[in-house]
Amino acid sequence: MHIVFVLFDNVTQLDFTGPVQFLSRLPGAQVHVVTKDGAAVTTDCGFSILPRSSFADCPQADILCVPGGHGVRDAIADTALVDFVRQQAKGADYITSVCTGAFILGAAGYLQGKKATCHWAYTQLLPLFGATHVPARVVHDGNLITAGGVTSGIDFALNLIAKIASEDVARTIQLALEYDPAPPFGGGSLKSSSDETVHNLRARVYDKAAAEMKMAIQHII
């Protein structure tokens, strides 16, 4: 089973490293980490990731996964990257994204008329690609699976493992990787966070980031 992760500069590394850690444990999994030219890409954490393949030598994906990050703003305007995603998606059993990686699927034409999610700060932009936002960490619509922000990529991976292999396999992998979330603080979602915390975070980071993402999307549609 070929699992292809498409990377680009300024990717959010946990969007990728979370699900790949789990999906790589699927029986028969072959993971392919690809970039346009096979060169390393930067992450939002100050280090780089060296891929396994370039677009030219990547096999057909059974599972296609596109992570997000601030680099999505440039990625959706990268014709080679969007065309690669579009062509891979045609033959994939599952087309998936984490966080704002959904917008790359949107640029490739795979959100139109679909239910989807992404990071909470950008969900209002999903209708620009013809999608309907569903407020959940993982949203299934046919063979399209989208995950919310960052850590939800692990939930998405376990959901997909259960769907492909079985719930028992998913539970075993979950135990092997000791995924038993017990955050030290409440407030990891909009529902559990104070209005003040949400307001301050939006003002400091996401109002500007979402506006820039909207401009980038409007430029290509």
Q: In a 3-state reduction of DSSP, which class is residue 5?
A: strand
- 45, 58, 65, 99: the catalytic one is 99
H or E element, residue 139: strand 138-141
Mark whether 65 is an active-site residue. no
Query: Percent helix, strand, coil in the chain (nearest 5)?
Result: 45, 20, 40
Contact 47, 14 (CB under 8 A): no
CA–CA dist 209, 124 (Å, integer): 13
Structure tokens at 100: 């704002």
Contact 141, 96 (CB under 8 A): no
Active-site residue list: 99
